[in-house]
Amino acid sequence: MDIERIHTPVMLQRTLELLAPALEQRGAVMVDATLGMGGHTAAFLERFPELTVIGLDRDTDALAIARERLAKFGDRARFVHTVYDGIARAVRSEGFTEVQGVLFDLGVSSLQLDRAERGFAYSKDAPLDMRMDFTKGRTAADVIAESSEDELKRIFLDYGEEKLAARYARAIVRAREDAPITRSAELVAVIQAATPVAVQRQGHPAKRVFQALRIEVNEELSVLERAMPAALDSIAVGGRIVVLAYQSLEDRIVKRVLQAASSSSAPAGLPVELPEHRPQWKLLVRGAELASESEQAENPRAKPVRLRAAERVRRPS
């Protein structure tokens, strides 16, 4: 496998630039909460010769590839098989109480998209799996088979923001009465048959449904809701966090958490802000940054990315 060819880390130089002030100190520790195939981590370990990176991933295939790719860095590269809401336990398990940097590169990885047998891509026929950790949990086929019409509608609406959620849920329930829907091509066929021609011209009709199923199978939004506060709690004063989000649902969670962390907790009407109410974090970028036009042209997976970053300026008294 040519890892360099199939995996180009998104906004790599910008993440290096934003995290550098926190990682240049001697003995710095960073958590790559979404290790994947280790592209970001490899660059950080090369750039900062005394840095230790704790890489987290729920995908055992990705961990195996990252272990091989990062072996040259010895014990400066640590590996933990966990979902990223387990960040606090992972840091403690490696013998640290706090870290200087955290990176989240959210969403589905290049490895998962490019391996057809994982079932993430609507453009490739494969078993409807979609589990990021394929050693446990329900598959997308299970969700399709076991969910009621109302549950499917909710999943497609809440996690895919799909306007035709009700129509697709109804079509799937009818189709599965004739035969189980167990492969991606079977699901795509059902969705296409239920999609008005005018809508089909606006893009692939299965895109949002597949996104919604992936989020449901992997509990991505609820995991992120737990992971963001846990990550912030793990970061030392002067430490930094960078988050790359690829769809609006993830980005809203990140935005909300970082805005709350960087806001004063003083009750309205106080004439003077007391020290204990001052923000614990400051935002490092205004709003969400996009990848440059040149990067988007070179790496299509960078097109939807939204980057947010913050620095811890104090801990509670």
Residues 6+ apart with CB under 8 A from 186: 128
Residue 152's nearest CA partner among 190, 112, 201 is: 190
Would the annotation count 13 as a binding residue?
no
Q: How far apart are CA 161 and CA 208, in angstroms?
A: 7
Helix (H, G, I), strand (E, B) or coil at 123: coil
Would the annotation count 85 as a binding residue?
no
Would the annotation count 57 as a binding residue?
yes
Would the annotation count 269 as a binding residue?
no
Would the annotation count 112 as a binding residue?
yes
The sheet carrying 52-57 orders its strands as: 77-81, 52-57, 29-32, 99-105, 235-245, 306-312, 281-283
Q: How far apart are CA 159 and CA 222, in angstroms?
A: 11
CB of 69 within 8 A of CB of 45? no
Q: How far apart are CA 171 and CA 122, in angstroms?
A: 17
DSSP string, 267-316: PTT-SS--GGGS-SEEESSSS-B---HHHHHH-GGGTT-EEEEEEE----
Binding region for S-adenosyl-L-methionine: 38-40, 57, 84, 105, 112
Binding region: 38-40, 57, 84, 105, 112
